[in-house]
Amino acid sequence: MLYRLQEHHHTAYLVGGSVRDLLLGRRPKDFDIGTSAHPYQVKKLFRNCWIIGRRFRLAHVKFGPKTIEVATFRRQVSDAEADEIGHEEPVIVASSPDPDVEGGRAPSGPIHRDNTFGTPEEDAFRRDFTINGLFYDIETHAIIDYVGGLSDLERRVVRSIGDPRVRFVEDPVRMLRAIVMASRLGFELDPLVSEAIAEHRALIATAAPARLLEEYYKILRSGYAEATFRALGRARLLELMTPELKSPPEAFWDWLERLDRYRQRHESVPPELTNPILVSALLMPTGVWQPDASSAPAPRDAGRRGRRRPTTPGDRVDFGILPVARRDLETLRHITQIVPKLSDPLLPERIARTLVARAAFPDALVWLEIYGNAPEIVAEWKHARETAGEDEDGVPPASSGPADDHAGHRRRRRRRRRPGSV
């Protein structure tokens, strides 16, 4: 991709976290490209390309299961330029003639002002942290560093590009990401970053709840969830987003440790780490949600502050300011219904077949593997599914448990003879 962009006279670099991880000897989770080509120009070069986004136009180029994100170099607009452009007008300087590029107005808020095409250097200075502002030129095999990121990599420091007090006001989620990055890489926060977080930490509660929830899911998938949540607690950000975790029970840290061990056994994020499995580590050990509706604390009733209304496990739960999706809670409810039955040695064959056929069965098996401390049971059910042989309907046989060698076989029903046939 880089060579093709350069062949068509566009500047193109590998950018951001992938460069950082390669320099640290880590395997990048994905690869991002920065280029002088505008999104519609990228689309013309790659047939397997889709333009996404309203505020930020990005090109996603598909290669099998992998997606390469291609972003045009951008710069941050000054206050004077923003006033001249006007708050009600888009701040994309170059409009796209491509009919496939969806139009839209820039949303209000301070962060939309850096959605203007620019140079590689301008693009580097609009990024969040210096170690994320490095570019790699595939033609010269050189690292391009406009922001001092190489020095900070050597010092193992997370430092803000620009004044962190200004950058965190622009986007409070950057405070969260600074701590996440330091925890994952084993780096220290620059003193100015730590001071700015302490000064502006209350702003984290003004960030979009759905965006914060997505950041939580990224943390839980990282393999460093325990260290990250402890660091967020020390910075007193955790209590502002999820007050239930201000003084969490020891079981909470135990669940995170188990989740981290599972994740670290895999080179990349396994697809079976679904949101319901992840969110259970937040809700269940803290008592916010329990599979038994009669004993589960209910969400707060917005109309009666401080009181709680009856609920079922499928109801939406607001975990602090984070909205957990109803569908994820519903799947979690199915998981908690299945898991106790998996360890029942007297489970009838009929029930075993029903469990295996349920949509939540794969999630339940992964949940048990992570949190259940029952490797023998998990191995038996995996063996039953994968190698024990399947009946005519493709369902692994089971009677008194997943490893029962004497599972009965369904009798084939005789076909009725049609009237008048011989």
pLDDT in tens, 208-220: 999 999 999 999 9
At 189, list the tokens: 């926060």
Alpha-carbon span 11 to 9, nearest angstrom: 7
CB 215 within 8 A of CB 226: no
Q: What are phi and psi of 226, to 5 degrees?
A: -60, -50
At 416, list the tokens: 């009725």
| Residue ranges with strand state E in 104-263 | 116-117, 134-137, 142-145, 157-158, 188-189
Alpha-carbon span 80 to 272, nearest angstrom: 49
Residue with tokens 């976290």: 17
Alpha-carbon span 222 to 60, nearest angstrom: 23
Rg of the chain in Å (alpha carbons): 26
In CATH terms, the fold of domain 1-150 is Beta Polymerase; domain 2 (3.30.460)
The residues assigned a catalytic role are 30, 32, 128
Alpha-carbon span 11 to 120, nearest angstrom: 9
CB 204 within 8 A of CB 172: yes
Which ranges constitute the DSSP H helices of 318-374?
A: 326-342, 349-357, 361-371
Q: How far is CA 18 from CA 15, 25, 29, 132, 333, in A?
A: 7, 11, 7, 9, 37
**Average pLDDT value over all residues in the chain:** 81
pLDDT of residue 230: 98
Alpha-carbon span 187 to 181, nearest angstrom: 8
Give the distance from CA 107 to its chain's centroid.
23
Asked whether the CA dihedral 5, 115, 83, 106 is positive or negative, the reply is positive
Q: Taking phi first (over 0 means left), then psi (-120 to 50 degrees means alpha), and beta for anything else, what does residue 145 get?
A: beta
At 185, list the tokens: 């890489």
pLDDT of residue 356: 86
- Ordered by start, the domain boundaries in the chain are 1-150, 264-422
pLDDT of residue 93: 35
Helix (H, G, I), strand (E, B) or coil at 113: helix
Alpha-carbon span 246 to 207, nearest angstrom: 19
For residue 263, the tally of other CB atoms under 10 A from its CB is 19
Alpha-carbon span 272 to 367, nearest angstrom: 10
Residue with tokens 């140079």: 119
pLDDT of residue 284: 94
Please list the ranges in the chain whose pLDDT falls under 50: 82, 85-112, 293-314, 388-389, 391-419, 421-422
Alpha-carbon span 220 to 237, nearest angstrom: 16
pTM summary value: 0.78
Give the distance from CA 210 to its chain's centroid.
12
pLDDT of residue 250: 97
Residue with tokens 């790659």: 46
Which of 274, 245, 270, 281 has the alpha carbon at shortest distance from 372? Answer: 281
Which of 218, 191, 215 has the alpha carbon at shortest distance from 204? Answer: 215
pLDDT of residue 29: 84
pLDDT of residue 114: 52
pLDDT of residue 66: 85
DSSP 8-class letter at 29:
S
Sequence-distant (6+) residues with CB within 8 A of 260 are 223, 224, 225, 226
pLDDT of residue 151: 97
pLDDT of residue 202: 98
